[in-house]
Every structure is written in C-alpha cells, then in structure tokens.
Amino acid sequence: TADSASEPRAGRQGSKPMTATDIKVNVSIPEAAERAAVTGADGVGLLRMEHMVLSTNKTPQQYVEDHGEEAFVNTLTDSMRTVAEEFYPRPVRIRTLDAPTDEFRQLEGGEDEPSEHNPMLGYRGIRRSLAEPETFRLQLEAFRKLYEMGYDSVELMLPLVNDAEDVERAKSLMREAGIDPEKRDWGVMVETPASALCIEGLCETGVDFVSFGTNDLTQYTLAVDRNNGTVADRYDELHPAVMHLLHSTIETCRDYDVATSICGQAASKPRMIRQLVETGITSISVNVDAVADAQREVKRVEQQLILESVRD
C-alpha cells in the first residue's frame, strides 16, 4: 500500500534518438506503465486520475462512504506510484480528476450525479474540484504523500481551466493541502479557447508548464462535439483556428519561460508535430504505440530546421 514507502529507484529506460524536443508518452492505466517506460520516452505527458477512480467502479463519494477517506487517498497514491516508480527519475505528469458526469453516472453511487444536457460543457475538471474542495483535497493529499516518499518527479496538472482565477483558487487549495506551488512542478491544460486567450494571466500564476488538450480544444474552438459521429467530418485538429491558438500560446509561453506541451491525440500527427516543433514547443506526448514514429518525426523536423538555418 501507499504506506509501505521505499526510496524511489531508477526505472527501466529503452533507447531513443536524441532530440531537442522531448517526446513523452500518455499512460492510460497504471498497469500500462511498464510497457510505456521501455519505449525510451522522456517521461509521462499525461496520466489521467479519473481512470484510477473509474477502475474502482465507485464514484469518489461512494468510495469514501464505503471505505473512508484514507483508503481513497491510498488508492490514488498506489496507482500514481506504480507509474512514477516505473519512470523514475523521468517526470510523470498527473492530472487531477476530469470525468464528465455521464461517465461517473455509470458507477456505483452514480445516481447522485447531476443530470446535464451537455456534460462536456458542464460539471467537470477544475470547476468540479473547486466546487467540491473536500474531494479535491483528497486528490491533493495523494500527491503530497508521493512527494513525501521522494517522488519529486511527479508533476501536478489541472484540467479545464479557463483563466488565472481558476488557477489562483486551486493554488490556495494546494497550499492548504501542504503542497507548496513554489517548490513543485505543476501546470495546467490549455484545452478551452478561454485558456489560450488568457494565457498571459495563466503564465503569471507561476505555472511551470501548460499542456495542450487538443481533443477538447478542437471541440470547443470549432463547436464540434468530439463524441458526435454526425459531425465527425467537421472535427479537424489542424483547423487554422486551432493552430492559431496553439501557435500564439507557445509564443507567449516562451516569453514567460513556461514550458509547452501537447498531450491530445493530434500530437502524433506528422503535420501537427512539424508545425509545433517549428514554433518551439518543449515536448509532445503520444500514446505508447506512437512513440517510435513520433521520435523519428521530431528528429527529422529538427534536422530539417538545422539545415534551413545553416542555409539562411
């Protein structure tokens, strides 16, 4: 369990071509960490906490009611630690809860979830965490326990933020939970147009990184439901409007020395890789099966850029 702490040891690492842009991997469930670690990825760009909860088949509230707060925290800590251990000392970016209410409704205790016409525009991500600080505190406690065990490689990421106010409120809850934002690596998802448009304010909150959630950024920018097959032909992650938000965000973040990353599905598309590497993104994070191709593609683009600069 989470209490049987031992010093972090270095995990396994495969070989990889050297690139200036880091290539990371998205890990879906802790059990997938071992396979992801041997790809030689530079770390985990996205580990979603909601999968740790969904696998218990209970909503967080139900889990706490049945087993108590400490058991809930330990479940999260154990899952996070499995991945952190496999990758240590490579960084592992873990995102706090972001399940829409229709996903939580499938679980035991799900009958208490609010009924929403548009769960994707509703009660999820940081909005829910700020509205239910008692559940957010338990998530933060799991992070704090990992830090205490020595996993300083763990990075905390906040989903679905719109602006600096969301982040400042989350920061005070982090402090209340014993996490010092000045001392830890943490950041936010940029996955709403508002967050991309308010990027200066977000940078001023002291984030170490932002990560593009292009799955959501595309649906919200183009007003195309990512789960609606009827409009699937309109769902274009490389749409000029989406690319505009990505480029302008990277440029502002470079001015503030804030690292930029992409962890949406589009991160494995060669055209996306080329455009973002050219603009100076810090890292890209792809599914385990796409790591090798992404490593090759990034290397190719970087070599091309070097050649072009020599010719200029």
Report the C-alpha gap between 143 and 76 in whole angstroms: 9
223 torsion bin: left (phi>0), alpha (psi -120 to 50), beta (else): left
Contact of residue 263 among Mg ion, ligand PEP, none (CB under 5-8 Å per partner type): ligand PEP
Dihedral sign (CA 179, 181, 186, 190)? positive
Cis status of the peptide bond prior to 240, with omega within 30 of 0: no
Asked if 22 and 43 touch (Cβ cutoff 8 Å), the reply is yes
**Count of CB atoms within 10 A of residue 95's CB?**
24
Q: Which stretch binds ligand PEP (CB under 6 A): 69-77, 109-117, 164-172, 214-222?
A: 214-222
Contact of residue 249 among ligand PEP, Mg ion, none (CB under 5-8 Å per partner type): none
Tokens 């829409």 correspond to what residue?
100
Binding of ligand PEP by 216 (CB under 6 A): yes
Q: Which of 213, 221, 272, 283 binds ligand PEP (CB under 6 A)?
A: 213
Region 71-90 residues binding Mg ion, contact defined as CB under 5 A: none
Binding of ligand PEP by 214 (CB under 6 A): yes
For the CB of residue 98, give the shortest distance to Mg ion in the complex, in Å: 6
In the shown chain, the binding pattern of residues 146 to 185 toward ligand PEP, with x for contact by CB under 6 A and - for none, equals ----------------------------------------
Smaller CB separation from ligand PEP, 29 or 305:
29
For the CB of residue 92, give the shortest distance to Mg ion in the complex, in Å: 18
For residue 166, give the nearest of 112, 111, 129 by alpha carbon.
Answer: 129
Binding of ligand PEP by 187 (CB under 6 A): no
Q: Which of 28, 215, 275, 279 binds ligand PEP (CB under 6 A)?
A: 215
Region 214-233 residues binding Mg ion, contact defined as CB under 5 A: 216
For the CB of residue 214, give the shortest distance to Mg ion in the complex, in Å: 9
Q: Which of 42, 141, 166, 191 binds ligand PEP (CB under 6 A)?
A: 191
Report the C-alpha gap between 178 and 24 in whole angstroms: 28
Q: Which stretch binds ligand PEP (CB under 6 A): 11-19, 29-37, 126-134, 209-217?
A: 209-217
Report the C-alpha gap between 2 and 70 in whole angstroms: 10
Smaller CB separation from ligand PEP, 158 or 179:
158
Binding of Mg ion by 213 (CB under 5 A): yes
In the shown chain, the binding pattern of residues 90 to 129 toward ligand PEP, with x for contact by CB under 6 A and - for none, equals --------x-------------------------------
Name the token pair of 120.
């994707």
Whats the size of the chain, residue-wise?
A: 312
Considering all CA atoms of the chain, what is the largest pairwise distance in Å, rounded to the nearest integer?
66
Q: In terms of C-beta distances under 8 Å and separation of at least 24 residues, what long-range contacts does 238-243 make, across chains too?
A: 238/266, 238/269, 238/271, 238/272, 238/275, 242/214, 242/217, 242/218, 243/275
For the CA atoms of the chain, what is the radius of gyration?
Answer: 19
Q: φ, ψ for residue 44 (rounded to 5)?
A: -105, 125
In the shown chain, the binding pattern of residues 282 to 301 toward ligand PEP, with x for contact by CB under 6 A and - for none, equals --------------------
Residue numbers of the site for ligand PEP (CB under 6 A)?
Answer: 46, 48, 98, 191, 213-216, 263-264
